[in-house]
Amino acid sequence: PQYNISFFGIEKLHPFDAGKFAKVVKALKRDGVVLGDAQLVTPREATPEMLSDVHTADYLHRIHNHNFTVVQVTELAALAMLPNKLLQWRVVAPMRMHVGGTMLALGLALERGWAVNIGGGMHHASADRGMGWCPFDDIMLGAAAAGDGAGAGGLKVLVIDLDAHQGNGVERLALGDGQLYILDMYNAGVFPRDDEAKAGIDIRVELKSGTEDDVYLNRLRAALERAALVLPRPDLVVYNAGTDVLAGDPLGRLGVSHAGVVERDELVWRWCRDVARAPIAMLLSGGYAKDSAAVITASLTNLINKFDLKS
């Protein structure tokens, strides 16, 4: 629930379901997939000092003090008229919890082999700018924190970004980073169309609007096969598992079915276990269809059962 973003209904003016995170947790508990709070870990909210590992001081000042910056990120003009303290409490603080969740998930994955952040995946934020409901780049912040404890050799991180949108913020930040690799498969015809950021992608798969299961999954298999051949074996995989690939999603505009998303997620997890032999941290990222929470629940249920993750 601390991930949910709500502000007297104003958040509903955007297609993003800012309350889906609690829906997923509630459904997993209801169905007995998660056995109580013992399998759930509540993260700490990322501090400004943590955020400064990736973001500039000027940007952090603006996102924490100026309503207009929050409006730019959320695309909700009505927020401009509200007191900044309320915006920080109801919008920015939950986003900082998402960052804390991703940082925790990456650490737990390295320790235990896997972890899922029921949120996160804010892949559009760069050092000095947020956009597309992404005020902070939790992926890069998490990778930086995980790398700090990796010793002299560093930590090789592979980001598999299967959100329907290009992960341009991560890609801009990854330019010149010799320890982070990116496989990004996205709809080339929708936001953000960031050509400059493409230089940060190691394996790029551009899809057309309406792409359905067969083509989608075949292209993913081919991309993973290529990753195994041309990229260094990762020490950690960060899987950005956006459900905005679903057919009917108003912003992703792809045509993947419910079953296709479940198969996609299982395919990535199986590749990490059997081919890369690397721990995986999964983030939920975007998803704007009404059935997004239900599909996430079905996929996580499948993963927990197939990979025997209850113990």
**Residues 244-280: tens digit of each pLDDT:** 999 999 999 999 999 999 999 999 999 999 999 999 9
Residue 35 confidence (pLDDT) = 67
Residue 153 confidence (pLDDT) = 65
**pLDDT higher than threshold 90 for residue 79:** no
**Which tokens belong to 75?**
């695309």
**pLDDT higher than threshold 70 for residue 287:** yes
pLDDT digits (tens, 9 = 90+) for 11-55: 555 455 667 888 999 999 999 998 666 789 999 999 999 999 999
* Active-site choice (55, 98, 123, 124): 124
Contact 106, 82 (CB under 8 A): no
Residue 267 confidence (pLDDT) = 98
pLDDT digits (tens, 9 = 90+) for 117-160: 999 999 999 999 999 999 999 999 999 999 886 655 689 999 99
pLDDT, average across residues 152-171? 93
Identify whether 124 is a catalytic site residue.
yes
pTM over 0.75? The answer is: yes
